[in-house]
């Protein structure tokens, strides 16, 4: 049985984690949850972040959430910044990301808790949005490195955390330093599981790590006081290898 429940409103399909809504005593989501200009009165906007698009931070019934609209990247975004070819509901990115996040929660991996997603179908295309729970007291490691260097144990912990995902064959499409967070307890988290999934084999895992290294080197060149040195990468790899050899 799918963990996702679906509400259809004309060409809008709202997917949500029914068990989560019951646990949090939430009513099923409506279309207004996904539009900051029409948010229900019970919602508060507590912040925003800009990148490829705007990410909104919302508060509802004492809990904090993250609302993200799916955007295209690269040259194709000049043609259509947020419309995607429709193949089926199950192959839309909100449904795939929610489904993966449910698995990560079941495996007790440190990833955002899935809440709800919206798919709006427009003929041969779709647009979408995703809501996840905000990670309490967490800051992306890039911003931390702009303020201070991490210690050896923090780098080792990040490496071990990535290895936990790899042991479950979780491929992170965009493993860069912006998509790794540290919370106030020192726990590392991976975020943004768009276009990610379960991938067979082991050969891709080193390439995944190299992508992270490239992002660290890129940010280090851009920021003169960036808290990253080559020895830090070795500490990360030590943490990664500390969980034993690949099976």
The chain-wide mean pLDDT, for the chain, equals 93
Query: What is residue 236's predicted lDDT score, i.e. its pLDDT?
Result: 98
User: Is the pTM above the cut of 0.85?
Assistant: yes
Residue of higher predicted confidence among 86 and 2:
86
CA distances from 232 to 31, 183, 190, 205 (A): 45, 19, 19, 19
Q: Please tell me the distance from the alpha carbon of residue 94 to that of residue 127, in angstroms, as a whole number.
A: 9
Region of poorest pLDDT, from 41-50, 108-117, 226-235:
41-50
Q: Which residue has the higher pLDDT, 66 or 76?
A: 66
Q: Are 105 and 113 in contact (CB under 8 A)?
A: yes
What CA–CA distance (Å, rounded) separates 110 from 185? 13
- Rounded average pLDDT over 62-82: 79
pLDDT tens sequence across 125-146: 999 999 999 999 999 999 999 9
DSSP state for residue 28 in the 8-state scheme: P
Least confident segment among 17-21, 50-54, 190-194: 50-54
**Gap between the Cα atoms of 37 and 46, Å rounded:** 14
Residue 171 CB neighbour total at 10 angstroms = 20
- The encoded tokens of residue 13 equal 């399909």
Q: Dihedral of CA 137/64/106/236: which sign?
A: negative
Mean pLDDT along residues 28-45:
95
**Computed from CA positions of residues 171, 172, 176, 180, in that sequence, does the dihedral angle turn out positive or negative?**
negative
Average pLDDT over residues 26-43: 94
Residues involved in catalysis: 174
* Alpha-carbon torsion (224, 226, 232, 236), positive or negative: negative
Q: Which of 57-61, 70-74, 109-113 has the lowest mean pLDDT?
A: 70-74
Q: Cα–Cα distances in Å, from 100 out to 4, 25, 112, 221, 245? A: 11, 23, 11, 34, 25
Give the mean model confidence (pLDDT) for residues 211-220.
98
Per-residue confidence band for 77, with pLDDT thresholds at 50, 70 and 90 = very low
Residue 202 in tokens: 């082991």
Is residue 169 exposed (0-12), middle (13-18) or buried (19+ Cβ within 10 Å)? middle
Q: What local confidence, expressed as pLDDT, does residue 76 receive? A: 54
Q: Inform me whether the pLDDT recorded for 75 exceeds 70.
A: no
CATH number of 139-241: 1.10.510.10
Q: At residue 78, does pLDDT exceed 70? A: no
DSSP for residue 177: G
**Tokens standing for residue 112:** 């955002």
Read off the tokens for 207.
Answer: 């390439």
pLDDT surpassing 80 at residue 17: yes
The C-alpha angle 10, 67, 123, rounded to 5 degrees, equals: 30
- Please tell me the total number of residues recorded for the chain in this structure: 247
Quote the pLDDT of residue 90: 95
Q: Is the pLDDT of residue 158 over 90?
A: yes
Average pLDDT for 62-89: 83
pLDDT attached to residue 235 = 98
Give 52's pLDDT tier (boundaries 50, 70, 90): low
What's the token pair of residue 34?
A: 């996904």
């Amino acid at each position: 049985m799918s963990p996702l429940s679906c509400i259809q409103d004309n060409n809008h399909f709202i997917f949500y984690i029914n068990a989560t809504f019951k646990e949090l005593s939430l009513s099923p989501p409506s279309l207004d949850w996904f539009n900051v200009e029409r948010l229900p009165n019970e919602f508060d906007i507590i912040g925003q972040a800009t990148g490829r698009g705007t990410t909104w931070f919302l508060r509802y019934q004492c809990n904090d959430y993250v609302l993200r609209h799916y955007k295209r990247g690269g040259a194709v975004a000049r043609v259509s910044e947020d419309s995607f070819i429709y193949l089926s509901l199950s192959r839309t990115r909100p449904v795939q990301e929610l489904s993966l996040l449910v698995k990560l929660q079941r495996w007790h991996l440190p990833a955002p808790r899935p809440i709800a997603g919206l798919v709006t179908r427009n003929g041969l295309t779709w647009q979408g949005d995703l809501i996840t729970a905000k990670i309490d007291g967490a800051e992306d490691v890039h911003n931390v490195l702009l303020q201070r260097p991490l210690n050896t144990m923090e780098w080792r912990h990040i490496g071990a955390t990535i290895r936990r995902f790899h042991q479950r064959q979780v491929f992170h499409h965009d493993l860069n330093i912006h998509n790794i967070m540290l919370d106030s307890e020192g726990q590392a988290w991976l975020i943004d599981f768009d276009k990610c999934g379960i991938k067979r084999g082991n050969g891709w895992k080193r390439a995944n790590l190299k992508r992270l290294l490239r992002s660290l080197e890129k940010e280090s060149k851009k920021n003169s006081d960036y808290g990253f040195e080559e020895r830090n990468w070795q500490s990360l790899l030590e943490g990664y290898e500390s969980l034993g050899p690949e099976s």
